[in-house]
Copies of this chain bind each other. A is one copy, B any other.
Amino acid sequence: MAADARPNFSDLEAAAAGRHAVIAVAAAHDPEVLAAVRDAHDMFGTEAILFGQTARMDSLPAMAGITRIDTPDDETSAALAVEACRGGAASILMKGNLPTGTLMRAALARDTGLRSDGLLSHVMFYAPPRYGKLLVLTDGGLNPFPDLAQKKQILLNALTLMRRLGWTDINVSIVAAAEQVNPNIQSMVDAEWLAAQPDWAACSAHVIGPVGLDLAVSEAAAAAKHYTGEGAGKADLLLVPNYEVGNGIGKTLTWFGEAESAGLIVGATVPIVLVSRSDDHIAKRRSIALAMAASANDMEDNR
1/0 per residue, CB under 8 A from B, across A228-268: the answer is: 00000000000011111101110111111111000000000
Question: Would you list 29 pairs from A and B whose C-beta atoms are within 8 A, ordered by A residue?
Answer: A130-B258, A131-B256, A140-B177, A144-B177, A144-B185, A175-B248, A176-B244, A177-B243, A177-B248, A214-B254, A214-B255, A214-B278, A217-B255, A217-B256, A221-B255, A221-B278, A224-B278, A225-B277, A225-B278, A245-B245, A248-B249, A249-B249, A252-B252, A252-B253, A252-B256, A252-B257, A256-B256, A256-B259, A257-B257
Residue A207 CB within 8 A of the other chain? no
Residues of A within 8 A of B (CB): 128, 130-131, 140, 144, 175-178, 185, 187, 212-214, 217-218, 221, 224-225, 240-245, 247-249, 251-259, 277-278
B256, A212: Cβ atoms closer than 8 Å: no
What separation, in Å, do the CA atoms of A242 and B277 have in the docked complex? Answer: 27
- A71 CB → nearest B CB, Å: 24
Closest partner residue, chain B, to A145 (CB atom):
B185
Contacts of A249 in B (CB 8 A): 248-249, 252
What separation, in Å, do the CA atoms of A212 and B276 have in the docked complex? Answer: 13
Known: A177-B248, A213-B251, A256-B257. 6 other contacts (CB 8 A): A140-B177, A178-B247, A212-B247, A213-B248, A248-B248, A253-B256
What separation, in Å, do the CA atoms of A146 and B213 have in the docked complex? Answer: 21
Contacts of A252 in B (CB 8 A): 213, 248-249, 252-253, 256-257
Copy tally for this chain in the complex stands at 2
- A61 CB → nearest B CB, Å: 26
Contacts of A128 in B (CB 8 A): 256
Closest partner residue, chain B, to A257 (CB atom):
B256
- Taking A245-B245, A245-B248 as contacts, is the C-beta distance between A255 and B177 under 8 angstroms? no
B247, A244: Cβ atoms closer than 8 Å: no
- Taking A130-B258, A256-B128, A278-B224 as contacts, is the C-beta distance between A251 and B176 under 8 angstroms? no
Contacts of A251 in B (CB 8 A): 212-214
What separation, in Å, do the CA atoms of A10 and B184 have in the docked complex? Answer: 40
What separation, in Å, do the CA atoms of A175 and B248 have in the docked complex? Answer: 8
Contacts of A241 in B (CB 8 A): 244
Contacts of A225 in B (CB 8 A): 277-278
